[in-house]
Amino acid sequence: MSNEKRVNWFALPWLLLWLLPASSVVAGLSTLAIALINQDDMVTDDYYKKGMSFNRLQQADQRAKSMGLKANGFIAENQIVIMLAGNDVETVGDTLQLKLFHPTQEEQDQHIELRRVGPFQFQAQWSAHDDWRGYAELSPEDARWRLRGQWQADSINLLQPEVL
């Protein structure tokens, strides 16, 4: 028989002293790995240009409000359909730009060109997920006005001017 005594791990106080720093190192390395793999797309480096464009965007919103423009958008049979309403809808043109922005993942953003198919109706092909959610911005090619709103692929979405 062996004369060795078995010592339990909790009877060694130096082991408990090493446990806290070791767990901190593991947690820190895990946090670093997560931060490097999932970098935040919402962070921008060019704050000055974005700030300077604010006035131009506010003018576009104000112009849309003065034209009385509003739009309802929905998806029907893999088509995005936009119904535009307002005072000067006839002068809008034959194409509109619809930009769909995902709240956190820039690679899911989409830019869609809509073509006029009726006096107040614009359409384009769209084959995205049925559960897509985000923000939408509708404007003509020259961006003289814009409408904005939240977008859910499975519902009717209201786009309107956002005037501060």
Phi, psi dihedral angles at 33 (to 5 degrees): -65, -45
- Asked whether the predicted pLDDT for residue 13 surpasses 80, the reply is no
DSSP-H helix ranges across the chain: 13-37, 47-66
Q: How many domains does the chain have?
A: 1
Domain around 149: 47-159
- pTM of this structure: 0.68
What is the pLDDT, as a whole number, of residue 42? Answer: 61
What is the pLDDT, as a whole number, of residue 156? Answer: 84
Nearest to 154 by CA among 118, 123, 126, 117: 126
Q: Which residue has the higher pLDDT, 55 or 41?
A: 55
**Torsional class of 86: left (φ above 0), alpha (ψ -120 to 50), beta (otherwise):** left
Could you tell me the two tokens for 25? 């190192």
- Report the CATH number at residue 127: 2.60.40
Task: Give dist(CA 100, CA 137) in Å, integer.
Answer: 7
* Residue 125 within a domain: yes
pLDDT band at 7 (very low <50, low <70, confident <90, very high): confident
pLDDT in tens, 88-98: 777 788 999 99
Nearest to 163 by CA among 91, 50, 29, 60: 60
* Residue 88 within a domain: yes
